[in-house]
Structure 1
Amino acid sequence: MSTDIRAVEGAFAPVREEVTAFDLPVTGRIPDQLNGRYLRNGPNPLGLEDPAGHHLFVGDGMVHGVRLRDGRAEWYRNRWVRSQRVAERLGEVWKGGPVHAGMDFAPNTHVIGHAGRTFAIVEAGSRPYELGYELDTLGPCDFDGGLPGGYTAHTKLDPVTGELHAVAYFFGWQYLQHIVIDAAGRVVRTTDVPVADGPMVHDFALTERYVVLYDLPVTFSMDAAAAGERLPYQWNDDHPPRVGLLPRDGSAADVRWLEVEPCFVFHTLNAYDEGGRVVVDTVRYPGRFDALRLHSAEQPVLDRWTLDPAGGSVRTDRIGGASEEFPRVDERTVSRPHRYGYTALIPDLVDLFTPGTADEGPSALATPDLGNELVKYDLLRGTREVHRLGREAYVGEGVFAPRSPDAAEDDGYVLAFAHNPERDAADLLILSAQDFTGAPVARVHLPRRIPLGFHGSWIPDQPDDRA
């Protein structure tokens, strides 16, 4: 069984209590246009007695949130997602709900808003949990019976149709499932695409014409499951790496599969159609990837795949630097051509989760340099800007928030939680996208440390939220 002590120590160490704070202090000035909530999800294990065998991906989800309104930071809250296990450990009665295949789990990977509702989400067979506006848990969700199985960690919202797309996988399925939820929150279409070996599919891509499927050589391992691994997925040399183009209105029979070099992909920046070809910008781990230890032989790179379904070819071009992860775009460009993108720089990403134990001595537990830089790309001009923080000011994913619904692609702000070592607590950074290397427009000072986590969203208020 693998041992991952680093996943519960240092910047990843869980916080032990839920906090509510109002009227948060601010350095600088919060833009009046930012009315809504910045929410971010991440693993925060509750009641972890022994880190041996723990994997970062299986920690109980905790959502951290800040509400901004009229130039003020009204509140900060952090709340565990109340799966049955979490609720019982907190001495509460679980509210119950539609769990898929007995896989009740406190989703720890992403938190999104759709159809006026808030959802904590995760992959691999578990269903979303719906949250209230103030992050209270309402219960597991199957979208009024429309969700056949589990869901996903990454959705794509079509900015024109308002449809929410997802690709789900589950070790008990021999297929991937494309799921479409309409703007009202109803499941309107599911399409099953057969695949072999049960691949891990953390993300996908969307264009106006296609759903882009990743079928890569990290697959379910019965041997790993029998050995007690909490994340029983391993590199599989016998699984051919490929990318599939599923027409949005097509069936599994219409998928065009294209071979790619062996690699693994966690995250897509964006994708779009270009004539008869498909452009996919993604963070790619070249070569073998060890999912149990989150370890790669090579640093991840920001690459562009140009897929030619007519010719059956894939061209790979380097468009960004190495050791960058958590790519994001202005969500209004999803599935359409984009000019700008944002990543987080983590210099020692390859070594970040290399397993170590206390028996191996202090050097085994030494924390590598964590990310303290956010990166902005102008892909039209081919430029790269870096916003640098202090050495111990680790920062997570940057999320773009437009100045207004009809503002230009670059006209807005980048939001991220960053550790403030002087206070040993977190700040919400608000950066001007058009002055990316300059001082933050505002720093909202939060009352507690926030562990490094995964993904989040800027969810603008609706009229009913303004009370």
Structure 2
Amino acid sequence: MSNEYLEGNFTGVSEEVTLACPEVEGQIPSDLAGNFLRNGPNPEFTPPMPDLYHPFDGDGMLHGVEFDQGKATYRNRWIETRGLLREREEGKALWGGFNTIGKVEPPADMPMKNLANTAMVYHNKKLLALWEAGLPHEISLPDLGTVGEENFGGWNHAVSAHPKVDPVTGEMILFCYSYGQAPFVKYGVVDPKGKLVHETAIDLAGKPVMIHDMAITEHYSLIFDMPVTFSLDRVMNGGEAFDWEPENGARIGVVPRYGQGSEIKWFDVETGYIFHTFNAWEEGDEIVLQACRSERTSILVSEQTEDQLGKMRRYRLNMTSGSVSEEKVSSIPMEFSRINETMLGRETRYGYASRFHPTRGLLFSGMLKHDRKTDAIETVEFGDTQFHQEMVFAPRVNSQSEDDGYVIGFVHDETDNHAECWVVDAQKFSDGPVARVRIPIRVPYGFHANWVGA
């Protein structure tokens, strides 16, 4: 049986390289300085049950483009987790994955392999590779070498894919969701020097659920309790590990940054699922949240129906009255929502996202820029055979305003199977890329991206 996630541009690459990128259409801006980075699955060894391989299962590989004085250098490196190093010793894959729970026996002394394949966060001058069921791995820059696991001096839990770094205070706010016993969420704050300074438990008062993202404001953190549930019993009886149970409802929890779990205030919202947020901020008694929200979800199936695709929604949570308003901002299917991260947790005007391809499931065929003041959306269109995934905002050197910078991401062309890194001037968004940097090797489809300025 074939597996589409082991074919085409989902297929991993087999070597690590460092290569100059001399072939550029257009010109790399001289005021673009730093590293564009993208994480994603790239199994080094053939999975034990290839027909059941899921993209969540692959070993993490970082792909990076370093921009310096109008030139670009590409690198890719596996994240050398303890599990991957052990498999290299054995010369084969030792762990199953997302669809093989109960079907593949893992090593007795290491029941779970940290894949480090999902996302990244930059904090305390450290790049951390993230995977929702394990600790982060510190990565050196610009060479992308693996330093090792990071626990912030006492965080004994996993870290979700999207901790948030307050650009004003330097604090990092994080959480972990679990599938064991209640309470199902651990929440914490790490100080600017990388030390854990606050931890509390949050009781979801129900079934364990998947929580992929969170949001922060100047004083609060937002946690999403939405009905994608996990059940080991369901797996053992031949069902799915995750399932959609809308009867559980959906709610957004708001807790003071240094609050206890008992202080969380819950707001019931229309049943749906939030994979990714744009931003949140405070306006008087209200918290404003913008996010990509779908009517339901089935966790990365290859064929998704319209109601499984995220669309921009704006929430207003009144901390005094407890009331909620929800506004459908756009009908365009989109995900991988991003902003200028130097304004995270404060009021923003602009957001960026990737538009779903109408027939290609998990692939994207257009870049979007949203103006909150007018709700206008600008688009960068792609060719019929060009697809991309997450794009990120990179402030230009000495940036003067919120959208004074570039939107950057990898684009794959299926016509000749080559990759490019596109650089779009955010203030002239609909003009398209000012530079298309051809990458000397293929870059497989992956997950989340990040920008680390020089």
Determine the structure 1 residue equivalent to 2:210. Answer: 200
Residue number in structure 2 paired with 1:85? 83
Please name the residue that 1:363 is paired with: none
Contact kept in structure 1, 2:121 and 2:162, CA below 8 Å? no
Matched, 1:76 2:74: yes
TM alignment of 1:154-193, pairs within 5 A: 154-174=162-182, 175-193=184-202
Q: Determine what percentage of the aligned residue pairs are the same residue.
A: 35
Tell me which residue corresponds to 1:362: none
Q: Which runs of 5+ in 1 are unaligned?
A: 94-99, 354-369, 462-467
CA–CA distance in structure 2, aligned partners of residues 260 and 51 of structure 1: 39
- For residues 245 and 40 of structure 2, the distance between their equivalents in structure 1, rounded to whole angstroms, comes to 28
Paired residue secondary structure (2:388):
coil
The TM-score with structure 2 as length reference comes to 0.89
Is the Cα contact below 8 Å between 1:107 and 1:129 reproduced in 2?
A: yes
Taking only aligned residues, the RMSD between alpha carbons, in angstroms, comes to 2.4
Indicate whether 1:265 and 2:313 are aligned: no
| Counterparts of 1:316 and 1:431, CA distance in 2 | 32
Q: For the residues of structure 1 that align with 2:444 and 2:224, how far apart are their CA atoms?
A: 29
CA distance in structure 1 between the aligned counterparts of 2:305 and 2:216, rounded to whole angstroms: 26
Question: CA 1:23–1:391 in structure 2 vs 1: closer, same or farther (change >3 Å)?
Answer: closer
Which segment is superposed worse, 268-277 or 190-199?
190-199
Higher mean C-alpha deviation, range 23-32 or range 53-62: 23-32
1:254 corresponds to which of 263, 268, 277:
263
Quote the offset at 1:21 in angstroms: 0.9
* Contact 1:247 1:255 survives alignment (8 Å): yes
When the two structures are aligned, how many residues end up with a matched partner?
Answer: 431
Q: Runs in 1 of length 4+ with deviation above 6 angstroms?
A: none
Determine helix, strand or coil for the equivalent of 1:305. Answer: strand
Amino acid paired to 2:69: D
Mapping of residues 267-346 of structure 1, within 5 Å: 267-286=276-295, 288-291=296-299, 293=301, 295=304, 298=307, 299-346=309-356
1:146 aligned residue: 154
TM-score (norm 1): 0.86
User: Judging changes above 3 Å, is the alpha-carbon distance between structure 1 residues 297 and 402 closer, same or farther for their aligned structure 2 residues?
Assistant: closer
SS of structure 2 residue aligned to 1:52: helix
Does the Cα contact within 8 Å between 1:234 and 1:292 map onto a contact in 2?
A: no
Deviation at 1:289, TM superposition (A): 2.2
CA distance in 2 between counterparts of 1:51 and 1:452 reads 18
Amino acid at match of 2:78: W
Report how far residue 410 of structure 1 moved: 1.0
CA contact (8 A) 2:254 2:264 kept: yes
> What is the letter of the counterpart of residue 256 of structure 2?
P
* Secondary structure, counterpart of 1:266 in structure 2: strand
Q: Counterpart of 1:293 in 2: which secondary structure?
A: coil
SS at match of 1:257: strand
After TM superposition, the structure 1 stretch with the greater mean CA deviation from structure 2, 5-14 or 451-460, is 5-14
After superposition, give the CA deviation of every residue in 1:196-239 in whole Å (9 maximum; x if it has no partner).
3111110011111210110011121122442578x822222442
Deviates more, 1:294-303 or 1:448-457: 294-303
Distance across 2 between alignment mates of 1:58 and 1:263: 26
- From 411, 417, 425, give the equivalent of 2:410: 417
Q: Is the 8 A contact 2:21 2:438 kept in 1?
A: no
The unaligned stretches of length 5 or more in structure 2 are: 92-108
The worse-fitting range, judged by mean Cα deviation, of 102-111 and 208-217 is: 102-111
